Structure 1
Amino acid sequence: MTVNASRTILLLNGPNLNLLGTREPDIYGRDTLADVEQLARETAEELGFELKALQSNHEGVLLDAIHEARGTAAGIVINPGAFTHTSIALADAISGVSLPAIEVHISNVHQREAFRHHSYISPVASSIIIGAGVNGYKLAVQQLAHLISG
């Protein structure tokens, strides 16, 4: 099957997001990563896009996926997890591939610990969706589709 890069959205989830549904459900809810990916996929399909999803606890895997997106996707939705607050490399990669990117966080990071208030990703993101729960992924896909479609 040939991938149409102009109609493909890359969804990236960073460290510990594989634990959704069981990790701190009072903060992150009970939806699993599979639920999140399904919601994002259905939203993308409703808008005429394909969705490719990847979760990794390894920064280099996420970096490689961002680099590969340059030729395989029209844009990126990313929840970098804890790498939000530590990874200049992810910010550089997003900036370097020149694709629109939507940063998404399930919880409102600004209501949490002070170290979560800073994001290296936000300055290079096209839009940021924070604190909308897993519905934030739907909003992020919708926003990215809007940006791609002009």
Structure 2
Amino acid sequence: MLARAAALLAILDGRMLVETGDWELASTLFACSLAVQIDARDWARDVEAEKAEARASAAVALAVVTASAVDERADTLERLRNRLLGYLSEPGVPALWTGDNGLRRRKFKGAERAMADRALESLVNAGAVVFDGKRWPEHEARFTAQPVPAAA
């Protein structure tokens, strides 16, 4: 590589013979080129490290936000379960869930309805509320609160 650079420098100067000054200049050019390559590689490594750090930071932030959302959702679900049990306060008396006059439409608005469905489903699964057995939400489903057993 040095020989080619030295020869090129001599030809550019209009000479056919390579002199000591051509070798020295070629050596300096080679050292500068190598230094630029090393700096570029180091810079690329630093940029990649910064990107990796930013990705890790974003992943941590996402995990925190997700955990917060899960906690908030659990709190919302619990709050909706308690509201539902309040609406179904008379044990043994069925309450209409679906339809225009159902609790779902009258008591829960907008995005809260989907969460109310989940809250009701969890109450049914826990045995706190009994479902009338009709396919819900296609039919006018009715739910009844179970009496709370007396403490012994």
Interval of TM-score (by shorter of Structure 1 and Structure 2): under 0.3
The structure with the largest alpha-carbon Rg is 2
Structure with higher RCO (Cα < 8 A, 6+ apart): 1
Query: Where is the helix percentage greater, Structure 1 or Structure 2?
Result: 2
Query: Where is the strand percentage greater, Structure 1 or Structure 2?
Result: 1
TM-score by length of 1: 0.23
